[in-house]
Each structure stands twice: as structure tokens, then as C-alpha cells.
């Protein structure tokens, strides 16, 4: 049997990767909701990247601390100086929204990335070597997952002392088990395949088999889970901030800004919605951010999940 | 009960012991972040005991290795001593028990509505796949799933309470609160709606119900989304199976095929979710209770957390963990009952 070596470059039209890319784009185009999700995520990513341009911080000042315009408690409606108005304590809402986007990305990406990394290492080892270690790991994750996430995170934050760092660590502690479970399951599935057996037979080291042969086949479910989790992580972090367990007052944090508006929901005498901007604007930003990521995650799942995709 | 089910039941009940040990170990591990003096608060029943901190430390072995400490701690927990809550000036267990009826009342109204609506809309969405109804319900699901519960609560309060003067926060209006606390109103269950019926007091019943509207609506909108999603995909999966084609080929009308054949099987994954959802609501909905000042377990936990009242927060986490373990057990047993493949496989 003759064996021709086909050397296909990545960018060739016929290369499998380009085919995959074209397929993904085609699927995205056919689903309006994923376009909306993508647009929202692109918008927020640009806002986060361009924050220093959109809302220049004062020099020698922590850019995440919102500038104040006076000390009166009552929120001020939108005006030329404060585009979105100010909230309780005269914190500028526009500045808070822009830098809040960065803060949301920081906590969302950090928590998901570290949880996924821990999950990949622990779950991968447990799935590859099986045996007692895998069983013990599953029992540990069972226990963490036996608690409602917000409540366990709350207990951790109280134990560590309030603050953004505590929230980040607490959320990682709550989130990694689901990644470990996912990766272990995927490793169990993939290591049973013939090509893994073949790789072992030609003498690949365990590490090489894991990294080069098994891991690439577990990427899709990981990407789906991670993209669906960013919204949930940001939502949970905002909930903890809302309860007053997060950043110090005045930090660009959507959850905290929503909580600052709580005293003003009944409005002013004769004008019940006098302070609408104080609760509507931060809420819209948080909601759209989470919505965008959830829609995008859904789109990824529709495209990448082999059970759902149909060519 | 057949033998398979009995064996499964025994196995599943045995499994609960290590899980409960794990759950308590995790809560206990959190306490290890504190110094022995701070930890002593977990063993105090009365603030006057603070003078005897050193005695407490040596009595419960708070300076001993963790396994000795764990045993002495779990002994206390089993005796119902969860420590003293600084923020509420009461023993933790007493607070949890006295606030539980409020949380349970909320769950009793919110859970069935959420589950029923979620199943109904999810099924509708699947049966009418790719029509306008399907797109609308799916959009509703993703919106509900992305809405921050605290923001939704604030918006509902701003509109109904701030704007229209309806549905004030709290569990009762001030006049009803006074009446309930007076001697003429007998508290039987702590559920104000039930107690109002038992006292034959229509005004209090209406007042209690009107205070339930917004929190129940918030919980329903947020949680319904998940049930809808699972029901829709499960229903679609069932509708694609050959037994459905077979049923149609036998000439059954579409209504019977959907209601009697597909729905029954599609409901199986929804059972787990509904169980966990109910457990989540019973263990205290921190955010919703806080926004609507609905003074249940979750409201208490949120207040305690902001005041760094460690024993109260840990007691609350422990309660939530135990409720979840029990809910999981009930769900698994229900599963075995519904789906013979589990107990026989």
C-alpha cells in the first residue's frame, strides 16, 4: 500500500482546521441569539480594554476607585459631567460602569481559569490513573457540590475576611470540583480509545500521552463549561458584593453599586422613579454581561457538542 | 416493595453516613482558619461564658490536633449546640429554628409554581420546536437565567412598591405584625398564611399572601429557566426516540403520544433538578430574603455574614449542607421508584 504524506497547511482551504472554522462561522450565522451574545461579549471586551481611554483615571490613584463628585448622599440624575448620574455618596456611575467591566472580567476570568487549571490537573490525574485516588477525589467533589454554591462561598468569605481577594479564593474553592469531575470523566472516556493504547504501545511517556493525546480531546467540553461559567461567576461575585462582603466602598463593582441604590428605590415624594438611574444602570450592565456570556456559551455548546452538532 | 428496591434503599441509606461526615468535616475545616480563642465562640451558649475562654479551650481541646477537635465539635453539634450568634444575641440553633418557618413558607409557595411553570413551558417549547413559541420561551429562559436575583428584586420593588404602593417588603404589614404578636392570635405553625386560616382571620391571610407575591415572583423567574431548559432538551430527546415513532405508527393521536409516552420519560431528569431546587429554597434564599426583608434563615445568614458572625454563618452552611444531602437522598429514592433501570441495573 502506498502512503502519500499530505502536507496541509493550517490556512489551506481544505485543511481540517479551516473546515472546522468555516463550519463554526456558518453555525453562528444561522442562530441570531449567538450573534447577539457574541456582539455583547465583544462590546464588553472592548470596554474593558479601552477603560483607560473611555474613563481616564486621575494620576497616582487606584483606577478602580470611583471618583466622587461631592459628599451629599442623594444620587444626582444624568448630566453633562456625570453621563449616567451619580449614586449614593456621589460616586460617578459612568466611571463605575466602565471600570466595573474590567473588574468583572478580572474576577470572572481569574476564577474560571484557575478553577479549570486545578480541575484539569486533579481531574486528569484521577481519570488517567483511576484507582483509589480517583474515588477519593470524587468523594471530595461530592462534598463540595453538596452545598449550595453561594452559601459555601459566603462561609469562606466570612472566614477569610471580606474583600475581593477573599471572594476570588472562595469562588475558586467552590468552582474547581465541577471542572475536576468533568475532566476526570473525559479522561476516562478518552483513555479507553484505541489511539491512546497505540501511543502507549509505541513507548510514549505517561506525561506525553496525557498532554499530547488525551488532553486535546477534552478541550471542547472544557471550553463550553468555561464560557458558560464566566457569567455565573460574575453573578455570584456580584451577589456577594451586594451583601457587603466584597470590595471597599467606592470600588468599581456592579454588585456594590446596585446595593448603594437600595435606599432610593421608593424615589422622591411625588416622583417614585426619581432615582431610576441609580438602580437601573448598574443592573443593566451586570445583566447584559451575564446574558452575553450565557448566550455565547450556549452557542459554543450547540456548535462544539458532538451530541448536538449535525453536519 | 420488591427486593431490588429494598437493596438499593439499604445501599443508598448507608452512603449517607460518609457524605454527612464529609459535609461536617468541610464546615469544620473552615473553623480551623481561626485561632483557638476565636473558635471558642462556636462552643459558647451564653455570652457570659466569655470570661472562661481558657477553660473552654482546654475543655473542648481547641489547642489539640484537628481530629480530636473534630470529635469534640461534632459531639456538640449532635447535641444541638451550634454556638452563640453575636449578631442576633441568641444561640445559633434557636435562631435557625425560629426563622425556618418563614423560609419554608416561601419555599412552599415558590417551589411548586417554579417547577410546574418550568415543566409546562419546557414541554411547550419542545413540542413547538422552531416556532415562535419555542423562540419566545427560550429567550425567556436565557433572560431568567442571566438576571441577577438582587437586581430583579430591586426592580420589582421599585415598580410595585415605590411606584404603585403595592406589596411592601417584610412578611406582614405593621398592623398585622402587631396583631400576630398579640395574645388574641394563636401561632400554630409559624407559617402566617396557615396560621391566619386556623385563626379564621381573612385580613391577615390576605396581608401575608400579598407579602409573598414579589419574593415568590423573583424566585420563580430566576429558577424556572433551569427547569425549562432541562425539560425542553429532555423532551426533545424523548420525541426523537423510536418508541415514539412506534406509538405514532400504531395510530395513537398526538396528544396521547406526547402526554402519556414522551412526557413521562422526559420528566425523569427534571426530578433531580426539582428536588435540588426545593432544597435550595428550603435552606434559605439569602439574596431574595435580604431584598424583601423576608426574615427567614437566609436573611439572618446574610446579616450575620456582614457582621462576621462566624458561628451563625457556619451553622447556616451546615444546615444547608444537611438539607442538600437529605434532598439528594430523596431524589435518588424517587428515581429508583420512577425508573426501574436504576434499581435493577
Which domain CATH number covers B216? 1.10.3720
What is the spatial distance between Cα B57 and Cα B69, in angstroms, rounded to a whole number?
Answer: 10
Q: B158, A267: Cβ pair inside 8 Å?
A: yes
- Residue found by looking up cell 490556512 in the block: A11
Give Dmax (Cα) for chain B.
81
Segment among A47-61, B46-60, B79-93, B321-335 with least mean pLDDT = B46-60
Contact B152, A294 (CB under 8 A): no
The per-residue pLDDT of chain B, averaged, comes to 83
What is the spatial distance between Cα A137 and Cα A139, in angstroms, rounded to a whole number?
Answer: 5
Residue B66 inside a domain? The answer is no
Q: B283, A267: Cβ pair inside 8 Å?
A: no
Percent of chain B with pLDDT over 90: 10
Best of A262, A265, A310 to disrupt the B interface by mutation (most B CBs within 10 Å)?
A265
Q: Is the pLDDT of residue A213 over 60?
A: yes
* Grid cell at residue B229: 431548559
pLDDT digits (tens, 9 = 90+) for B111-153: 999 999 999 999 998 888 878 888 888 888 888 889 998 899 9
Neighbours of B4 (CB within 10 A): 14
Q: How confident is the model at residue A4 (pLDDT cuts 50, 70, 90)?
A: low
- Which pLDDT score, from 0 to 100, does residue A170 have? 92
Per CATH, the homologous superfamily of domain A49-310 is MetI-like (1.10.3720.10)
Segment among B178-182, B232-236, B312-316 with least mean pLDDT = B178-182
Closest CA in chain A for residue B38? A159
Q: A273, B163: Cβ pair inside 8 Å?
A: yes
Rg (CA), chain B: 24
ipTM score: 0.83
Task: Please choose, from the candidates A29, A180, A58, the residue with its C-alpha nearest in 3D space to the C-alpha of residue A115.
Answer: A180
The per-residue pLDDT of chain A, averaged, comes to 83
- Which pLDDT score, from 0 to 100, does residue B40 have? 73
Provide the shortest C-alpha distance from residue B199 to chain A (in Å): 34
Q: How many domains does chain B have?
A: 1
What size, in residues, is chain A? 311
- Which pLDDT score, from 0 to 100, does residue A160 have? 85
pTM for the predicted model, two decimal places: 0.85
What is the spatial distance between Cα A299 and Cα B170, in angstroms, rounded to a whole number?
Answer: 41
Q: Residues of A numbered 239-258 whose beta carbons fall under 8 angstroms of chain B's beta carbons: which are they?
A: 239, 242-245, 255, 258
Best of A159, A270, A273, A310 to disrupt the B interface by mutation (most B CBs within 10 Å)?
A159
pLDDT digits (tens, 9 = 90+) for A26-47: 777 777 778 888 899 999 999 9
Q: How confident is the model at residue B2 (pLDDT cuts 50, 70, 90)?
A: low
If you count residue pairs, one on A and one on B, with CB atoms under 8 Å apart, how many are there?
147
Residue B193 inside a domain? The answer is yes
What is the spatial distance between Cα B226 and Cα B115, in angstroms, rounded to a whole number?
Answer: 10
Q: Select, from the ranges A7-21, B62-76, B228-242, the one with the highest average predicted confidence (pLDDT).
A: B228-242
- Looking at the DSSP bridge assignments, the partners of residue B110 are none
pLDDT digits (tens, 9 = 90+) for A43-69: 999 998 988 888 788 887 888 888 887
- Which pLDDT score, from 0 to 100, does residue A307 have? 59
So where are chain A's domains? Answer: 49-310
What is the spatial distance between Cα A301 and Cα A75, in angstroms, rounded to a whole number?
Answer: 42
Task: Please choose, from the candidates A102, A245, A244, A225, the residue with its C-alpha nearest in 3D space to the C-alpha of residue A168.
Answer: A245
Q: Residues of A numbered 54-113 whose beta carbons fall under 8 angstroms of chain B's beta carbons: which are they?
A: none
With beta carbons under 8 A apart, name residues in chain B contacting A162: 306, 308
- Which pLDDT score, from 0 to 100, does residue A289 have? 94
Surface-to-core class of residue A309, CB atoms within 10 Å of its CB (0-12 exposed, 13-18 middle, 19+ buried) = middle
Q: How confident is the model at residue A299 (pLDDT cuts 50, 70, 90)?
A: confident
Closest Cβ opposite residue A147 in set B284, B305, B321: B321
Question: Which is more confident, B230 or A274?
Answer: B230
- Looking at the DSSP bridge assignments, the partners of residue A182 are none
Q: B22, A255: Cβ pair inside 8 Å?
A: no
Provide φ and ψ at A184, rounded to 5°: -60, -45
* Grid cell at residue B336: 429508583
- Which pLDDT score, from 0 to 100, does residue B344 have? 59
- For chain A, the first-to-last Cα distance in angstroms comes to 31
Domain that holds residue B172: 102-310
Closest Cβ opposite residue A286 in set B33, B151, B280: B151
Best of B317, B319, B327 to disrupt the A interface by mutation (most A CBs within 10 Å)?
B317
- Which pLDDT score, from 0 to 100, does residue A1 have? 47
Closest Cβ opposite residue B142 in set A139, A286, A291: A291
Closest Cβ opposite residue B26 in set A144, A161, A266: A144
Q: B162, A267: Cβ pair inside 8 Å?
A: yes
- Which pLDDT score, from 0 to 100, does residue A290 have? 93
- Which pLDDT score, from 0 to 100, does residue B26 have? 86
What is the spatial distance between Cα A67 and Cα A86, in angstroms, rounded to a whole number?
Answer: 10
With beta carbons under 8 A apart, name residues in chain A contacting B283: 148, 151
Q: A283, B317: Cβ pair inside 8 Å?
A: no
A276-304 vs B132-146: helix axis angle to the nearest 10?
120
Mean pLDDT score, A194-222: 85
Task: Please choose, from the candidates A179, A261, A236, the residue with its C-alpha nearest in 3D space to the C-alpha of residue B146.
Answer: A236
- Which pLDDT score, from 0 to 100, does residue B45 have? 66
Q: Three-class SS of residue A261?
A: coil
Q: Residues of A numbered 120-179 whose beta carbons fall under 8 angstroms of chain B's beta carbons: which are they?
A: 139-140, 142-144, 146-148, 150-152, 154-162
Best of B85, B153, B305, B319 to disrupt the A interface by mutation (most A CBs within 10 Å)?
B305
Closest CA in chain B for residue A244? B306
Contact B99, B297 (CB under 8 A): yes
pLDDT digits (tens, 9 = 90+) for A142-175: 888 888 888 888 888 888 888 888 899 999 999 9
Task: Please choose, from the candidates B331, B322, B327, the residue with its C-alpha nearest in 3D space to the C-alpha of residue B24.
Answer: B322
Amino acid at each position: 500500500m502506498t502512503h502519500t504524506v499530505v502536507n496541509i497547511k493550517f490556512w489551506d482551504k481544505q485543511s481540517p482546521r479551516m473546515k472546522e472554522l468555516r463550519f463554526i462561522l456558518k453555525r453562528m450565522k444561522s442562530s441570531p441569539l449567538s450573534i447577539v451574545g457574541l456582539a455583547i461579549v465583544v462590546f464588553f471586551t472592548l470596554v474593558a480594554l479601552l477603560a483607560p481611554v473611555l474613563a481616564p483615571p486621575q494620576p497616582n490613584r487606584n483606577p478602580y476607585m470611583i471618583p466622587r463628585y461631592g459628599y451629599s448622599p442623594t444620587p444626582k440624575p444624568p448630566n453633562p459631567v456625570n453621563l449616567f448620574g451619580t449614586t449614593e455618596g456621589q460616586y460617578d456611575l459612568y466611571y463605575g460602569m466602565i471600570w466595573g467591566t474590567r473588574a468583572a472580567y478580572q474576577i470572572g476570568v481569574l476564577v474560571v481559569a484557575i478553577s479549570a487549571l486545578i480541575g484539569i490537573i486533579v481531574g486528569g490525574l484521577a481519570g488517567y490513573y483511576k484507582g483509589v485516588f480517583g474515588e477519593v477525589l470524587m468523594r471530595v467533589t461530592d462534598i463540595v457540590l453538596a452545598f449550595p454554591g453561594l452559601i459555601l462561598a459566603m462561609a469562606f468569605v466570612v472566614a477569610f475576611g471580606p474583600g475581593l481577594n477573599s471572594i476570588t479564593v472562595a469562588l475558586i474553592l467552590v468552582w474547581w470540583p465541577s471542572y475536576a469531575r468533568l475532566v476526570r470523566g473525559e479522561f476516562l472516556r478518552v483513555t479507553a480509545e484505541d489511539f491512546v493504547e497505540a501511543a502507549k504501545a509505541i513507548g510514549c511517556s505517561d506525561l506525553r500521552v496525557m498532554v499530547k493525546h488525551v488532553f486535546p480531546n477534552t478541550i471542547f467540553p472544557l471550553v463550553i463549561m468555561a464560557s458558560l461559567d464566566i457569567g455565573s461567576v460574575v453573578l455570584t461575585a456580584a451577589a456577594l458584593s451586594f451583601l457587603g462582603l466584597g470590595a471597599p466602598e467606592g470600588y468599581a463593582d456592579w454588585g456594590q453599586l446596585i446595593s448603594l441604590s437600595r435606599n432610593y428605590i421608593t424615589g422622591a415624594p411625588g416622583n417614585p422613579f426619581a432615582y431610576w438611574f441609580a438602580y437601573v444602570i448598574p443592573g443593566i450592565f451586570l445583566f447584559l454581561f451575564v446574558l452575553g456570556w450565557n448566550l455565547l456559551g450556549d452557542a459554543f455548546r450547540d456548535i462544539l457538542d458532538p451530541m448536538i452538532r449535525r453536519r | 416493595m420488591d427486593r431490588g428496591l429494598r437493596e438499593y434503599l439499604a445501599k443508598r441509606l448507608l452512603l449517607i453516613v460518609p457524605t454527612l461526615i464529609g459535609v461536617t468535616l468541610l464546615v469544620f475545616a473552615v473553623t480551623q482558619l481561626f485561632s483557638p480563642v476565636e473558635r471558642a465562640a462556636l462552643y459558647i451558649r451564653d455570652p457570659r461564658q466569655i470570661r472562661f475562654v481558657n477553660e473552654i479551650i482546654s475543655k473542648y481541646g481547641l489547642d489539640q490536633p484537628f481530629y480530636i477537635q473534630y470529635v469534640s465539635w461534632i459531639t456538640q453539634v449532635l447535641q444541638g449546640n451550634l454556638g452563640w450568634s453575636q449578631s442576633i444575641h441568641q444561640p445559633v440553633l434557636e435562631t435557625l429554628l425560629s426563622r425556618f418557618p418563614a423560609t419554608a413558607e416561601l419555599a412552599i409557595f415558590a417551589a411548586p409554581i417554579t417547577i410546574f411553570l418550568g415543566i409546562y413551558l419546557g414541554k411547550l417549547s419542545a413540542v413547538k420546536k422552531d416556532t415562535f413559541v419555542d423562540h419566545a420561551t427560550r429567550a425567556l429562559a436565557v433572560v431568567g437565567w442571566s438576571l441577577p436575583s438582587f437586581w430583579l428584586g430591586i426592580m420589582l420593588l421599585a415598580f410595585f412598591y415605590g411606584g404603585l404602593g403595592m406589596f411592601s417588603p417584610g412578611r406582614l404589614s405593621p398592623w398585622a405584625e402587631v396583631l400576630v404578636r398579640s395574645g388574641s392570635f394563636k401561632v400554630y405553625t409559624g407559617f402566617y398564611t396557615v396560621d391566619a386560616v386556623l385563626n379564621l382571620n381573612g385580613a391577615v391571610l390576605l396581608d401575608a399572601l400579598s407579602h409573598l407575591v414579589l419574593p415568590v415572583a423573583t424566585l420563580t423567574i430566576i429558577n424556572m429557566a433551569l427547569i425549562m431548559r432541562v425539560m425542553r432538551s429532555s423532551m426533545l430527546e424523548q420525541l426523537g426516540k423510536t418508541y415514539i415513532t412506534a406509538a405514532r405508527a400504531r395510530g395513537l393521536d398526538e396528544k396521547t403520544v406526547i402526554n402519556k409516552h414522551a412526557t413521562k420519560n422526559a420528566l425523569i431528569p427534571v426530578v433531580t433538578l426539582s428536588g435540588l431546587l426545593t432544597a435550595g429554597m428550603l435552606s434559605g434564599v439569602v439574596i431574595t430574603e435580604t431584598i424583601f426583608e423576608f426574615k427567614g434563615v437566609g436573611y439572618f445568614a446574610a446579616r450575620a455574614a456582614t457582621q462576621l458572625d462566624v458561628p451563625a454563618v457556619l451553622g447556616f452552611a451546615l444546615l444547608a449542607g444537611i438539607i442538600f444531602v437529605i434532598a439528594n437522598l430523596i431524589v435518588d429514592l424517587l428515581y429508583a421508584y420512577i425508573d426501574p433501570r436504576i434499581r435493577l441495573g
